[in-house]
Amino acid sequence: MSPSPHLSRRWFLKSSAALASSQALATSSPAAAPPGPLLAYVGTFSSPLRDMLPTQVDLPPGNGRGIHLFQVDRSSGALRPVGVSEMGTSPSCLVPNAAGSHLYSANETERLGDTKEGSVSAFAVNPADGQLKLLNEVPSGGAGPTYVSIHPSGRFLFVANYFGGSVSVLPILQDGSLGPATDTKVAAGSLGPKKATSAPPGSFAFSGHDRTHAHMIQADPSGHFVLHVDLGLDRIFVWKFDAQKGILTPHDPPAVALPPGDGPRHFHFHPNGRWLYSIQEEGSNIVHFDYNAGHLTPRLTVSTLPPGFAGSNFCSEILVSADGRFLYAGNRLHDSIAIFSIGETGALTALGEEWTRGNYPRSFNFDPRGQFLYCCNQRADHLATFRVDPSSGGLQFTGQYTPVGNPSCIVFLDLAKPPGN
């Protein structure tokens, strides 16, 4: 990616820090803060527990203990630990429902009892303190579930099974627990090459072209279509969704191809619903698509890395700011968050990058008000907290490291907000 000739990385970070300081003074008034707690849930890669039920974990042991719970200081962004839901099944991806009454985890295991598949857990959230109560655990429809999302209706949970190469639809029952899958689809096609088309010079980045690998699944804003990416097939699949029966049927066309070997990992819709951005894990790039009722039209491809970079890098997370003005992309090994501005046509312009203060940033997320960005540095066993400058999009490190073993994702629940808002 080519940064603006008038915007050096040092200037960008210094100006971000100055503007962020003024933002902190404007937003840290105790009188302006809602009365209830803001909570953060951190999913981790966790080792098996001795007293577990028959679930087995075939992945390398993790340093996490399950789902870690923190109370968030709204002014400083600091995280204070207030509990852990002990799990040895690597709950690596979490999603709360819109009402904040339930939380769901994809447990990235390869075996459930004697069956080669993972599981998904449903939890009830205590409205007073956010503590979790396990409701049930159901098969995910494939090995290694790595992503979960909720349909806009709130009636179905979608699961992407990375090692199984499948996606599943699970009904959310009246009490918030999960029912058996109403549909499971396994993607088919030709595997991409081991060398990514867009890889930097000297790259040996190879993570998933040995077989199909479903990495993410999510409905579009309308709920009429569901998209899922397969890293091994270098495709984004598009499904029509029957919201009464919970059934997926192929759209026409059923998929769009990414550059061979680039390995699509995650995508994010712009708030206007007309643009979609896909990040490629092995190609270290972002593709901007125009989106219209299940149809994807590629417009622009940009690198997530600074000019002149050479060697291996694995992209991770991609997020668009709530106001639609900025896009953030994670780089593992380069250990940075690339920052882009979004133009009137959806085109991306590189602004610079911020060091993540740790190793292997697997994902990151904004707090509900967009004041802070929290980065899960998986191999550094901590979260790093950054203040977000709303004017420049810049990130200023707050100096806060929060220890968590192998953090994978972070999500938030605001218990001060009325249910469903």
89-124 pLDDT per residue, tens: 999 999 999 999 999 999 998 777 677 889 999 999
Record the pTM: 0.90
- For CA atoms 27, 29, 32, 38, the dihedral sign is positive
Say how many C-beta atoms besides its own lie within 10 A of residue 123's C-beta: 25
pLDDT at 11: 38
pLDDT at 32: 53
Q: 174 in helix, strand or coil? A: coil
pLDDT surpasses 80 at 61? no
pLDDT at 114: 72
pLDDT surpasses 60 at 236? yes
Lowest mean pLDDT among 2-6, 121-125, 384-388: 2-6
pLDDT at 2: 41
Across the range 231-249, mean pLDDT stands at: 98
Q: Which residues, at least 6 apart from 150, have a Cβ–Cβ distance to it below 8 Å?
A: 95, 97, 98, 104, 156, 157, 158, 172
Lowest mean pLDDT among 40-54, 167-181, 200-214: 40-54
Average pLDDT, rounded, for the chain: 90
Across the range 280-288, mean pLDDT stands at: 98
* 8 A C-beta contact, residue 179 and residue 168: no
**Helix boundaries (H) for 305-388:** none
Across the range 8-22, mean pLDDT stands at: 43
Q: 8 in helix, strand or coil? A: coil
* 8 A C-beta contact, residue 409 and residue 376: yes
Q: How far is CA 218 from the centre of its chain?
A: 11
pLDDT at 59: 55
pLDDT at 49: 58
Gap between the Cα atoms of 384 and 378, Å rounded:
11
| Residue that is written with structure tokens 């708030």 in the block | 271
pLDDT at 152: 98
**Overall residue count recorded for the chain in this entry:** 421
Gap between the Cα atoms of 58 and 111, Å rounded:
7
Gap between the Cα atoms of 38 and 22, Å rounded:
23
